[in-house]
Structure formats: structure tokens, C-alpha cells
Chains A and B, each alone.
Chain A
């Protein structure tokens, strides 16, 4: 569990980081909190030839709210999100942070790092898709924004090019009724299945809903459960029906943490629990 040899470079601003990535080529990787990359390097599952350390790049550690929504800087730690004061429509972010690893991991791991890593059960990836965030990238060809719904391409693969850096995640719209819940046997583990949901309730009736599942596909899975939700009374029966419909519409894989059939049952439970939490939030 010792990494293969690599060279180390420290970037002092975004431009330098991008220049280093361009110069060092495809095998170079950004190092942020190191909470995913360092273990993968120790197992030699990742073998970057060079690391570009961005932890000293100033000005990327923020949560800002304005008319365009909420913007989170790439180097904002999970812990900073957990303890941030955010406007009403974005409370699901700090509430969900407690599911991310353990305290020491949350103090080092970064929001941008999670998005770049693209684990299909990552809370931030699920919420980015749920809330239709934009992933803001900087590369040698300038700045671009990719919708989160198009960003994740399967296990640890994303729309970011090797020479691009994530600088910001933009959450355009508030979601006052949203929740994320998940299941793992141990506190702090990656979820076996996670469910992120948002809801609009008008006069006791569900008028719109959105549902994203983690742990059932190689990327966050947007599941359409409108049929069980839209136009129905906002109550337990509806949430349970939505859970059942979601479970029916997925075909999750089996592994040591649970069979596909078990994951379907988990999805039913978690979706219904997430809607219950969202409805009362």
C-alpha cells in the first residue's frame, strides 16, 4: 500500500493549475483533499505520473448566495458545507453533509473533489443532479459549465477533460422541500443505496417531484416516479407508493454489501423515507 512514483507540483492559482495540467499531460491529476485519491494511489489503483496540488489556491473556499442561486467553491470542505448558514431553499446541503464519511474526512475532503471523483453514491453528486446544478470548469480552452445531469458518465468517469479543473458548483434553483437519506451498515461508509428527493406540495397535493438514487447504477440515477406522486395527496401512502414504483424501475447490481434484490427493497424504503422527510422539511 505504497503509491507508485509521481512528481509533485503546487499550483498557486487556477491558471497555474490548468497550465500545469496541460504541461504534465493526461497522466497528471489534481490533488485536493486527498481523501479519495490518496487511498486509490496507495492501492496502486490510481497511478498518476504527477500531482497538481490545488489546496493552496486561494479564493475557492466559499458558499455564496445571490440572485442566481447558491455557488460553492471547489475547495470548500464537506465540514464547511455542514456548518454553513445557507438560505432556506438549500438546507438539504448542510443536512446531508453528516452522511459524508467521518469527521476527519469531512474536514479535509472537498466539494469539488467529490464531484470530480464522481462516486455513484456520493451525496454531493446525487444532490448536484437532484438540484440540477451546473459544474463550472476551467481549462486551457477557457471556462465552461456542464449540467450535473450530463456530467457523470459511470464509475469515476465524468465530462471533465484531464486538463480541466472544477472551480465551482452552481445551484441555480432553491428546493425548499428536499431530503437525502441513505443506508450503510456502518456510520460514515459510502451508502449501499442512497435516495435524494425534492418535492413541491400545493394545497396538500404533490404537484412536482424529483428523485435521484445512488448505489443502483454506475452514476447517480434519475428515476421518474411522477406517476405515483404528481397529483396525489402528500401523505405516507403516496411516499410508500413512490418507493415501490422506484424499486420496480431499477435493476441494481449485486455485491458483498447486498444483492440486487436487497438494493431494490432498500430503494423502496429510502425513497419513501426521503419523501417523508422532504415533506416535513
Chain B
């Protein structure tokens, strides 16, 4: 079989040897476990890439329907205003405009995201604003026209009489400003004090060193290449509204539509075609998507809406705008004794469905300690409402900030105690022999390579001459600095962990269905929903390995609520762990069915049958073999030859619900600052990461690189700005500075592999780590570059202007450290 001419190559990782080889050795053991014929660890080129690169992918806007109407939303020009009246007469008179719908026309539908906690104030998010608008670009009406041009003409012609009000636009003034929702005390939607420890105040008072600091991060846009969009149509045969949508969570979107419109879930079908990135923006339900579904259901006519970039920057979900006031106690050796944090998140005007606006403060308060041992801990997490768009769980969700906080604290403690900051980290990192470790916030960490990744990163950059390069640059008058960040991140949150959040709907488990057809080809159906991550390739590798077929013979069906059992989609670095494990378990069942058939036909014992290289072979009986396609043919077309009572068909369902598993990494970066402009350039970047068993290094590296790029963007470039009236000042990509390839340097990646203990494949989640680790590493490097100025930067993004003004301050000491 020529298909197998290219054998799977094993992991091309740089597993360390010698004293660092613990994880490496374990990896080698794992690899042998699978024997030959495994596709796990092979850099199989992504199946998706051919069609993407040739432009033959099929995104929402590529789906066309005869007679479709195109939607344009009429949006609020004010950050906060009362809606007095809406006059649609002029708009309906515009040639090509068919309908203008307002909230009243749709019976005032809304989305309601619920958290079952007393500290949470539930607020409804109207699909179209009724008597009030709470952020600029909030949808007020929708114009449906024959083409998108006429729709925009119509949207311009809708006349809305507003009475503008004073807007609340930042965390500091929100508590005393006008209420974003009537009666909302202090504009606070969630106020949680967690893990309070009576000892903490004493610890902070008595500690040899207390570090007090404030940290902040700007509002960001997730900025997927493809914005949001959907096409809804009425299917009269099924009495169903079918929505093609650019989403990460088709079932949750279906639930949102069903709940908002009062429909049984089965009368709504959501299909995600190719999705051009999400980064969390598409893991919540957008008002527009529900409106389009409602319009199509009402009008019995296809309706399409494709978000443009301006809407994507001003009217979709944001995230990441947070402030931390932190006190940390250390002993004289740099060991953390206690930590108290006051965390405020600017969540905008509404709670997004279904995660709610608590997702950032809850994540931050629960997981702040991260990879470090914090004996006494307390965190207060608040979600503060402002007149800005609502937030979605943007890639990393609070972890970029909490890692930044912990990593800056390590540096500050080291500076105050005159210790090596890496040594201070080592003294605090959860280390070998301490796993599984349960921290102050009740989290249990499965085994990771926290110390090993730091040691390896330090060794790598030292041997590669980063320190001498930095010193040479400094000698030449160019501020240069090296920064580290160590972190672990929980991935693949299962239902027991998600339940602690107390959401109205608890995500976590997932399922997969595997079916082999009569020619031996395989279809895997999952409830996860890849949107650019390469699931078609990695899931195929997992299933092909179990069934002894080639990954090209395995096709993935995802993103269709009518095909898959209720699934939670793709977010929170969950898919390969939860969906992949489900698929593996289902495939193992199908493999057992195949082995039974082979054992029967070859008259051998079932346990001696192995599936590999497209054939069933028998241990100890060379020459006894049947092609898997032959087994499949038998199962379907010659079922009468099988023993009585055999199952019919070749299919099985699998599911998984792990408690959540911790990936970890150490990022190291070398930056320079231009002394004349303040511009920071990232010059070298190293990631030593451990996401357990690597299914496909090519895919993992791509995720890490993209993630690091978004993290660098958060550290140095991107910032959504609003003025005091709530007007967006970053409505185009000229003002929202997403870095391009020109701004990003090559990123070197080394993998360590500490297998996940909860799953058979041992993979951990890895979709977010790059974004989580980069801001802290870059910020530490910038601070190292500016060390000689005596300025400490604790906010992101650090802008050239910030750097230049610290460089032009009178120098404290020259030369730096």
C-alpha cells in the first residue's frame, strides 16, 4: 500500500537529556507504548491547508442562497443614551430595502446569561436596544435589503431620536458614575471575595518583605481574520431555522437562539462551516446572530449578515481590560508567604451568553497563584460595568494578566532582596515530588515540568549567547533586556471544574462518534468545533492510530448541531483533550469490533489481532492478515458470515470529561528599545513548553507561534481606546495596531512532554499558552532594558512613548544590570 510509504515520524522535539531528561525519558516510554504505526507525534501536514491556500475554503460568506436578503445593523452613535423614537419610513423607501426591524417588531427578545451566585447581578442583553443604548455601536434596528449596499443605505436612513447621557468609560470613575443598568450599585455586576485566609493579614504585616504593586492591561479585540457572520434560512420541510454561523460553539449558539426566541432546541440547526479564527470572540452568542435567525424564521426567507472590520472592532466582543492591586509577602530567601489581590475587570455593558461577565474575574481570582506555591491567599474579583461593548473570554482569559502579575512580583521581590530572579522563581515553583499539588485556591495541579522548563530555557539562552548579545547592545548604547515568564495553565476544564463557576449552563464533557464505512474509510463526528486549529488533521491522527488506517482515510465532521450530540465546541484549550479522547475511545470500540471480525475470519484469538498499516495481523502468525477494508466490507455486505449476535455496522460513541489538566511553559525573550523613538523590538524569542504528549508538532508549533504573536501584540501594540463620551477611537486597523509579520521575530520552540494523567493519549491543551506567557516575558524584558532608568513598568501595552519618557528621565545609574 503506497499510502504507507511515508511512515509516521516520531516527535521531532528537542527532549533534553541528562539531569533534565526526566520528561524526555517518559516521553520515549510513551512512544514505545504505541509501537510502530502510530501517528501520534507525527508532523502530518494539515489537511485543511490545501483548500485554505487555494481559496477553496467555505466560510459563511461563501455560502449563497437564492433570494437572500442582506442585513445591516443600525447602531448607536452614543455610548449612553435614551432612545426616544425610531422612524423607519425613509429607510423603507430606499430602493432595494425590504424590511426594517426593531426590538418591538421581534417582541423585545433578549439574552440572559446566568451565574447561580448571590454576588452576581443578572442583567438582560436586548438583541436590539429598546429604550436605552448602553454602548456605542449597540444594535438598535436591522435593515434587510437585496444587497449589502442597499442595506447600508437603509441603515443610514433610519432616523433615531436619542437623548445622550453621560457615559461611564473607565474602572476608576465607574463606581461613582451614572448606572449602566438602572439600580446597579457601584456599576458592579459581580463582587466575589474568595479563599479568604484569616492568617493572611498577619502574614502580610509580619513578613520581612511586602511587595505592593498595581498592574493594568488594556482592552483588546480578538481580531479573527474572518469577522462574525451568519446566514439563516427557513427549512419548511423540517420546520427548522438553519443558521450557518462563524462560531466556535454551535450547540451553545443553538441554545442561545432557542432560549431568546422561546423555541424548542430541535427547531434550530446551527452549522459552522470553515471558521476563520475565533480566539474566544466566537465562543459566546452574538445579538446579531439571534436577530438574523429570528428574521429568517419570521420572513421565511434567507437572511445573511457578514460583519465588517469596523463592526468587528467596535460592535463585537472585547476583553482583557483589567486592573490588579496586589500585596505579596516574602521571606528573606524570596519565598512567597502570602498574596492578596484586588482584581477589577472592565466588562462593558452586558453579560455575554452563556459565560457571563464573571468569566474574567472568576478566572483571575481562582487561578492567580499559577505555577507558584502560595501558602496564604485571598482575592477579590469584580466585574465592573461600563458603557463599552461586552466582553467575551478572549484567548487566555485573565491568565495573560495573572501570569504578568506573578512574574512581575518575582522580579520585584528579587530586586528588593538582591537575589537572582530566576532563583526566586525556583524557590516558589511547584516542583518534582510535590505533584499532584493542591493550592490555596483548592486547585489540584497534575504533574508538570515547571522547574525543568525554566532550567532548560535558561540553559538554552545562555548557551546561545543571549546575555552577551544583550550586554554588547547595551555597550553600543542600545537599551536591551531579557525577560522570562514561567506559568502553568489549566486546560480542558471538565464539568466538575466548570460547575464551580455555577453558570446556568455548565460546559465540560464532550462526545464523539466514529463510523467506518464499507470501504474502510472513517468518519468522526465531534461536538468540538475547530476554527483554524487543524482538528481535521489531529483528530484523524488519533483515530487512524487506533484503527490502523491512514489519517487521509479519516474525515472529521464538526460544527453541525444536527449531526453531533450536544457538544460544547472549541474554547479553553479543550478540544484535543476532551474531544480527542472521546474520539479515541469511540475508535477503540470500533477497533474491537474489527478485531472480533478478523478473529472470526482468521480463526484466531481476538486478543492476538493487531490493526496496523491498513491490515489486521495476528501476533505470532506471520502471513495471517486481512485488509481492514475487507473487514469493513464483511461487516456491512456479508454480515451473514459473522457469528450470530454480532453487532451490525461499525460504529461507536465515546465521551470524556476530565477534571482539567495543567500545561506549562517558560518563555524567554530578548528585546531592544530604540533610544530615539522608544520603539521596542522583539529580537529573540524562546518557548519551552509542555502540553503533554504532542499529537502533531507542526500544529502545536503553529498554535504557539500565533499565541506568542497575540501576546506580543498585547504587550506592545494593541489597545482598544474609548474617549470620555464612550466613542471608540480604534475603529480601523490603522488605529488598532495588530502587529504583522514585519514586527515579529522568529520564535524558537522546544517541547517537553509530561503526559496528562487523565487521558489515554496523554495530550494536554495548548491553544492558549502562547498568548498567556508572552505579555509577562516581554514586560519583564522591557523592564530589564530600562533597569538603569529606575523606572518600573507594570502596564500593557507599553508604548514607545512610555519607553522614551523613561529613557529621557535623568539616569539613576548608568549601565543597568
Contact = CB atoms under 8 A, between A and B. Distances in A.
A186 B804 contact: no
Nearest to A258: B801
A122 interface: no
A266 B677 contact: yes
Interface string B658-680: 00000000000000000011110
A187 B740 contact: yes
B801 A262 contact: yes
A187 B744 CA distance: 11
Contacts of A183: 677, 679, 800
B717 A186 contact: yes
B808 A186 contact: no
Interface residues of A, number: 26
Residue from A189, A262, A272 whose CB has the most chain B CB atoms within 10 Å: A262
Contacts, number: 64
Contact of B730 (A256, A265, A273): A256
A187 B741 CA distance: 9
Interface in A236-281: 256-259, 262, 265-266, 268-270, 272-273
A1 B73 CA distance: 12
Nearest to B309: A1
Interface string B147-158: 011011100100
Nearest to B800: A185
Interface in A150-208: 183, 185-190
Interface in B728-750: 729-730, 732, 734-735, 737, 739-740, 742-743
A46 to B, nearest CB: 14
B220 to A, nearest CB: 15
Given A5-B149, A265-B804, A269-B676, A186 B729 contact: no
A185 B801 contact: no
B310 interface: yes
A146 interface: no
Interface in A127-155: none
A262 B806 CA distance: 12
A188 B742 contact: yes
A186 B310 contact: no
A258 B743 contact: no
B149 A273 contact: no
A8 interface: no
Contact of B677 (A3, A4, A269): A269
Contacts of A186: 717, 737, 739-740, 742-743
A218 to B, nearest CB: 17
A241 to B, nearest CB: 15
B734 A189 contact: yes
Contacts of B679: 183, 185
B501 interface: no
A4 B153 contact: yes
B149 A190 contact: no
A258 to B, nearest CB: 5
A272 B675 CA distance: 13
B308 interface: yes
Nearest to B680: A185
Interface in B762-785: none
Contact of B735 (A2, A44, A256, A258): A256
Nearest to B731: A43
B677 A1 contact: no
B721 interface: yes
A1 B315 CA distance: 13
B804 A262 contact: yes
A183 B721 CA distance: 21
B601 to A, nearest CB: 60
Contacts of A272: 676
Nearest to A39: B732
Contacts of A256: 719, 721, 729-730, 735
A257 B805 CA distance: 15
Contacts of A273: 676
Contact of B801 (A1, A187, A259): A259
B743 A2 contact: no
Contacts of B734: 189-190
Contacts of B739: 186
A5 B147 CA distance: 12
A258 B800 contact: yes
Interface string B787-817: 0000000000001110011001000000000
A272 B729 CA distance: 32
Contacts of B148: 2
A266 B308 CA distance: 34
Contacts of B149: 2-3, 5
B609 to A, nearest CB: 57
A266 B807 CA distance: 13
A100 B411 CA distance: 41
Given A256-B735, A265-B808, A266-B677, A188 B308 contact: no
A187 B743 contact: yes
B808 A185 contact: no
Given A4-B152, A183-B677, 7 more contacts: A2-B148, A186-B742, A188-B740, A256-B730, A262-B804, A262-B805, A265-B804
8 contacts: A1-B310, A5-B153, A44-B152, A256-B730, A258-B799, A265-B808, A268-B676, A273-B676
